[in-house]
Amino acid sequence: MDATINKKCQPRLVKFYTPVEVEKQTLLLQQVYELISQRNSQIQSSFLVTPPSLLMDSGDNEDIQIIYKNYATLYFTFIVDEQESELAILDLIQTFVEALDKCFAEVNELDLIFNWQTLESVLEEIIQGGLVIETNVRKIVSAVDGLNNATDTENSFTKIAGSRISEAFQAFSYTNFGGWGSHQ
């Protein structure tokens, strides 16, 4: 029941845990982006009050919430039902970003663009079939490592930096990250 969308105009990672047709996925992405991009994430809350029309139109979705967090040039967006705690989802986004940061040493949008598979893998270790399975960053990263090292490494997508920087994540997200990543 969570859909994870992550983008800046262009999607960087899209994952639906309920069957949604591709055309509607794209449309939803567009609508959510338009709503989010109007907001000032410095001073405004991380919740979309008016859901996009696509979600409003379907009758039984009265309790859908859209929760997003802005990191530098990226919006990490979760669309969840009322079974999820808003604050917990915000924590989860933080966990996701922290895990990515560990995987890439110091993550920036460019890394994420070219390592989409890693994004997928990390997310798969956090959310399985729409349910959160792990919130411990260390366990997430080691599971991804485990998968990548499982067999012969002839494939191109085994780029995992093993560094374990845990200090000052805050500083990372507000300073270093800010200038990076290409717009548009």
Partner 1 sequence: MSSLYGASTEDVKKRLRPFGIFFEKSLKDLIKGIRSNNETPEQLQDFLNNELAECREEVKSPDFNMKTNAVLKLTYLEMYGFDMSWANFHILEVMSSNNFQQKRVGYLAASQSFYKDSDILMLATNLLKKDLKYDLSNETVKMGVALSGLSTIVTPELARDICDDLFLMLNSTKPYVRKKAVTALFKVFLQYPESLRDGLDRFVARLEDDDTSVISAAVSVICELAKHNPYPFVQFSPLLYEMLIQLDNNWIIIRLLKLFTNLSKVEPKLRYKLLPKVLELMNKTTAISVIYESINCIVKGQMLEKDDYDTAQQCLKQLESLVQAFDPNLRYISCVLFYHIGKINFEFITQYDKVVIGLLKDVDISIRTKALELCSGITSTENIKTVVRTLIKQFVDVDTVQVNDQGVQIDIPQDYKVKVAKTILDVCCLNNYQNIGGEFDWFLKILTDLCIVSQDLNNPEVSTLLGDNFRNIMVKVPSMRDAALEKLIELTSNDDIITKLPDLLKEGIWCFGEYSDLIDNCDTLITMLLNKAEKLPENVIQAMIPALVKLFSTYANEEDKSKSDILGVLSNVIAFMEQKYRSTNFDIQERSVEFYEMLKLCQDSLDDEADGLPLLITDVLPSLFNEYELGPVSHGQQQQLLKSLTLDLDTPFLSPEELHQLMENEGFYDDEDAYYKDDDSAKSIASSTQSHREETEDISPEKDFSMTEEELAALEDHRRQERFDNPFYLNDDSDQYGDKKLINLSDNEDDNELKAPKEPVIKISTKKKKSKNYPSVQVLSDIVVAPSSPDTNQDTKKTNTLRPSDGITLSTSNKLRAFDFSQKHDIGDEGEYTVDQQEIEKLRVKLAEQHIGSNSADADDNEEIIVIKKKKKKSKDKSSKEKTKKKKRHPTGNAISPPVDTDSPTPEHS
The residues in 5-44 that bind partner 1, with binding defined as CB under 8 A, are: 11, 13-14, 17-20, 22-26, 28, 40, 43-44
CA angle 8, 104, 71 (to 5 degrees): 30
- The one among 96, 136, 162, 172 contacting partner 1 by CB under 8 A: 136
Question: What's the 3-state SS for 137-168?
Answer: HHHHHHHHHHHHCCCCCCCCCCCCCCCCCCCC
CB of 160 to partner 1, least distance (A): 13
The DSSP output letter for 19 is -
Residues 93-112 touching partner 1, rule: CB under 8 A, are none
| Residue 145 binds partner 1 (CB under 8 A) | no
Q: Which residues pair with 14 in a beta bridge?
A: 5
Q: 165-184: which residues touch partner 1 (CB under 8 A)?
A: 182, 184
User: At 26, is the secondary structure helix, strand, or coil?
Assistant: helix
Q: Which of residues 36-95 bind partner 1 (CB under 8 A)?
A: 40, 43-50, 53-61, 64, 79, 81, 83-88, 90-91
